[in-house]
Structure 1
Amino acid sequence: MRIRIRHEIIQRLDPGTRNMAVTVRLTPRAHEGQFILRWALDLSTDCRLSPQEDAFGNLCHTFSVDGPTDRLAVIAEGEVETQDTTGFVRGTVERFPPSLFMRQTDLTEPTAAVAAFAAAIEAPAEEPLARLHALMVALHGEVAEAEGPAMGDPLGAAAALEAGRACSAGIAHVFTAAARHLGLPARHISGYLAREGDAEGEGSARHWAEAYVPKMGWIAFDPGRNLCGTEHYVRLAVGLDALGVAPLRSTGLDLEETVSALDGRAPMKAAQAQSQGQN
């Protein structure tokens, strides 16, 4: 499947801002089932992008904004060829052993409620894949997916579970927190979900989770949609939680994102913008 992606971020800065360091994670890497046909970054300011990799192997770019200015725009655009791997994630850059992804964060803290939810999963401990599927099904029924900024300021695991509604990133926090509590390495993924066929919508930025199964490897789970990864997903960045995969990190103020991720066979429509807070 060929997916066309356009992701624009416009950030409001303090008036008169003269110097600011910015890091963006908006460049996907190729792996089995995902091939980057073309990809480009464009900025509203005249500066030099410095490519680098973060600790997890994500492709990043850093640059400095030399003002004065009160606005920053970053546009990532390209095409990605994907294939269905039935959820298996292979050929990725792996800087750490799976055991690192047992580490909890402030956003995935296993509170008493999260621990109780994980303990109630009905699947044998000796069958990790079955436990993960049971966790995804249970979470899909427990926390409804709400509209909201997938790449903005999502709820932590405890807050998402208590609210019973969260965006895809908040739901992924519950999944990773519960999986780790059950002794199963899990990590947070950012990326894009393409519009399927002639369905309405422009696709979206999205978060999901990957969990490690011994002798099988990493498998993508999207509990918000109650399914494993398909060819409609484009994987962008990996981390311990949503903060670690934030597409843009700076000291700016509010930001606005516009995202389209379309089947290459579908006509491109005008994208819808959404405002959100900065992590």
Structure 2
Amino acid sequence: MRLIVDHQTRYVYDQAVRAVVQSHRLTPSAFDGQRTIRWKVTVSDGQLGGGFRDGAGDWVQGWTVLGPVSEIIVRVEGEVETSDLAGVLRGHRETVAPEVYLQVTAPTEVDVGLIALTDGLDPQENPLATAHELSRRVSEAIAYEPGQTSAKTTAAEALAIGKGVCQDHAHAIIALARHLGMPARYVSGYLQASEDGTPHEAAHAWAEVHVPGLGWVGFDASNACCPDERYIRLGSGFDAQDAAPIRGTARGSGQEVLSVSVSVQTQQ
């Protein structure tokens, strides 16, 4: 499948700031399931900085915008050819050991409620089946409903509410997997549509769990599936903040207002 991406992020400051520095994970991952045909990232009035491939295999690119500036637009335009590998991240080069992703972060800490979701599961017996079951249980326990949680909501809080979005589902899977001793991480990317073909949020996130013999396998509890040809993988991290496509800081006292528009279409 060929997917066309048009992603715009707009930052507006009520008072001009002196400078903005950003770090981007906006380049599609290089693995057997996707091939970048064309890809362009631009930053209004931005100066391209240094870039590097980190230990997780993600390309990290720096940008600087010198002020005074009151508006910044980050635009991503591209085309990616994808294929369905049943969620397996095959052919992805990285140097970080999977065990690094056993590290717990604030959004992925477990509580009594989350631990209860692991009852009866033994990853030593069948790790792949365990990972699938974790995703299924999270999907059932946290209904997909936008507007009920925020960027700072933890996995435990989302479970208590019983509602959330893809970020909450990914954090919950990661929390449960790590509790069972299975390395897990957060993945950011794009999604063309939900499994039944209806529109879905194009900017998307899911979890990857490391399965012995297979490597990293993706699980999307929001859509009750593993990532397939409708998904574009950008980057990964310990949690949503660590894997954010855009991270940055502004020098100045201006308050920031953020707006995002994302379109992912199939090539006609």
2:249 is equivalent to residue 260 of structure 1: no
Task: Say if 2:29 and 2:57, in contact at 8 Å, map to a contact too.
Answer: no
1:219-258 to 2 correspondence within 5 Å? 219-252=217-250, 253-258=256-261
- Higher alpha-carbon deviation: 170-179 or 128-137: 128-137
Query: How far did residue 257 of structure 1 move?
Result: 0.7
Cα distance in 1 between the residues matched to 2:195 and 2:97: 37
Count residues with an aligned counterpart.
263
Query: How far did residue 158 of structure 1 move?
Result: 0.8
1:271 aligns to what? Answer: none
Query: How far did residue 43 of structure 1 move?
Result: 1.5
1:32-47 to 2 correspondence within 5 Å? 32-47=32-47
Cα distance in 1 between the residues matched to 2:154 and 2:195: 33
CA RMSD of aligned residues (A): 2.2
Taking a change above 3 Å as real, the CA distance of residues 89 and 249 of structure 1, as seen in their structure-2 partners, is: same
Deviations 1:75-94 (A, max 9, x none): 01100000111111111132
Taking a change above 3 Å as real, the CA distance of residues 47 and 185 of structure 1, as seen in their structure-2 partners, is: same
2:189 is equivalent to residue 186 of structure 1: no
Structure 1: runs of 5 or more not aligned: 266-279
Q: Percent identity, aligned pairs only?
A: 35
Deviations 1:96-128 (A, max 9, x none): 11111111101101222222222x255664111
2:29 aligns to what? Answer: 29
- Higher alpha-carbon deviation: 225-234 or 141-150: 141-150
Query: How far did residue 12 of structure 1 move?
Result: 2.1
1:164 corresponds, among 162, 165, 172, to 162
Structure 2: runs of 5 or more not aligned: 251-255
Match of 1:91, SS state, is coil
Structure with higher RCO (Cα < 8 A, 6+ apart):
2
Cα distance in 2 between the residues matched to 1:129 and 1:48: 42
- Higher alpha-carbon deviation: 164-173 or 20-29: 20-29
1:56 aligns to what? Answer: 56
Cα distance in 1 between the residues matched to 2:102 and 2:72: 36
Structure-2-length-normalised TM-score: 0.91
Task: Say if 1:4 and 1:262, in contact at 8 Å, map to a contact too.
Answer: yes
Query: How far did residue 48 of structure 1 move?
Result: 2.8
Q: Amino acid of the residue matched to residue 254 of structure 1?
A: V
Structure-1-length-normalised TM-score: 0.87
1:117 aligns to what? Answer: 117
Match of 1:5, SS state, is strand
Query: How far did residue 9 of structure 1 move?
Result: 0.5
2:253 aligns to what? Answer: none
Q: Amino acid of the residue matched to residue 262 of structure 2?
A: V
Deviations 1:183-215 (A, max 9, x none): 111111000111379945376010001111111
